[in-house]
Amino acid sequence: MSTVLNISAYKFVPLPDTETLRDTLLARANDLQLKGTILLAEEGINLFLAGPALAVRNFVAQLQQEPRLADLSPKESWSATQPFKKMLVKVKREIIRMDHPAIRPAQGRAPAVSPAKLKLWLDAGVDDEGRPVVLLDTRNGFEVDEGTFEGAIDWRLGKFSDFPQALLAHQAELQNKTVVSFCTGGIRCEKAAIFMREHDLPNTYQLEGGILKYFEETDGTHYRGNCFVFDERRTVDARLDPKPSCPA
């Protein structure tokens, strides 16, 4: 029986008080006996937590009492065992490293497409205006190997900070198309979509909530394989159930 609630969430919002937040959130998570990782940076928060449902939701409710995080919207899945070994709260330069400090999602996001809308586009092969739709996987190559959307572009990234240079090398191939960037939970494709729009690709969208939200809100059609997650479950399927990793 799956009794451990796993959540992931992020938000780009100015957090100049990261050191104070680190101590507060670590103490709160330990009091609730949660495990996982919380990343804090001046640009926002990114978290992965697991534990009893009541404790996890208590933690989220306390986070949402902070006005800056009131609309934090975690993605949920379940597992039979605790997928994390310890509780860590880290202060970083970026919650997802891109090495382009001018990309500031808190100052304005790229447009997002909902999972339901993306499924309709993929069913039709075109967007609402009749433009061809292409999917761009912004994850690392080893993650893509576990599963991805049918026909998705994969630039074999070694790390997310490789994305800007890869985009510049392939930019011409994406002209006059509707490009939907996607990743596990939305954080990488959010930065990627802004970067693409700033480099003359105006018909770029991000998949709202990433692959995990697509699994949660659709039947997983158009996705092949599993989704890599950064905990001991390693991958989950379209029902968000843990699955063995694909053979190398």
Looking at residues 50-57, what average pLDDT do you find?
98
Same fold, 4-91 and 105-243: no
Q: 30-45 burial string, b = 16+ CB within 10 Å, else e?
A: eebebbbbbbbbbbbb
Torsion angle (degrees, nearest 10) of CA 78, 56, 231, 9: 100
The tens digit of pLDDT for each residue in 82-141 reads: 999 999 999 999 999 999 988 989 888 899 999 999 999 999 999 999 999 999 999 999
* Contact between 227 and 184 (Cβ < 8 Å): yes
Give the pLDDT band of residue 2 (cuts 50, 70, 90): confident
Q: What is the pLDDT of residue 121?
A: 97
- Residue 139 burial (CB < 10 Å; 0-12/13-18/19+)? buried
pTM score: 0.90
Task: Check if the beta carbon of residue 211 is closer than 8 Å to that of residue 181.
Answer: no
Q: Is the dihedral of CA 83, 48, 75, 123 positive or negative?
A: negative
Number of H helices, E strands in the chain: 7, 15
Q: What is the mean pLDDT of residues 3-10?
A: 96
Catalytic residues: 183
Q: Which amino acid is at 205?
A: Y
- Rounded to whole angstroms, how far apart are CA atoms 26 and 43? 19
CATH topology of domain 4-91: Alpha-Beta Plaits (3.30.70)
pLDDT digits (tens, 9 = 90+) for 135-170: 999 999 999 999 999 999 999 999 999 999 999 999
The model's pLDDT over 175-224, given as tens digits with 9 standing for 90+, comes to: 999 999 999 999 999 999 999 999 999 999 999 999 999 999 999 999 99
- pLDDT value of residue 216: 94
Class of domain 105-243: alpha beta
Mean pLDDT of the chain: 95
Q: Where are the domains of the chain?
A: 4-91, 105-243
Is the pLDDT at 248 greater than 50? The verdict is no
Q: Average pLDDT of 13-18?
A: 96
Q: What share of the chain is helix, strand, coil (3-state, %, to 5)?
A: 30, 30, 40
The SS3 call for residue 188 is helix
3-state secondary structure at position 49: strand
From the list 50, 47, 45, the residue with the least C-alpha distance to 14 is 45
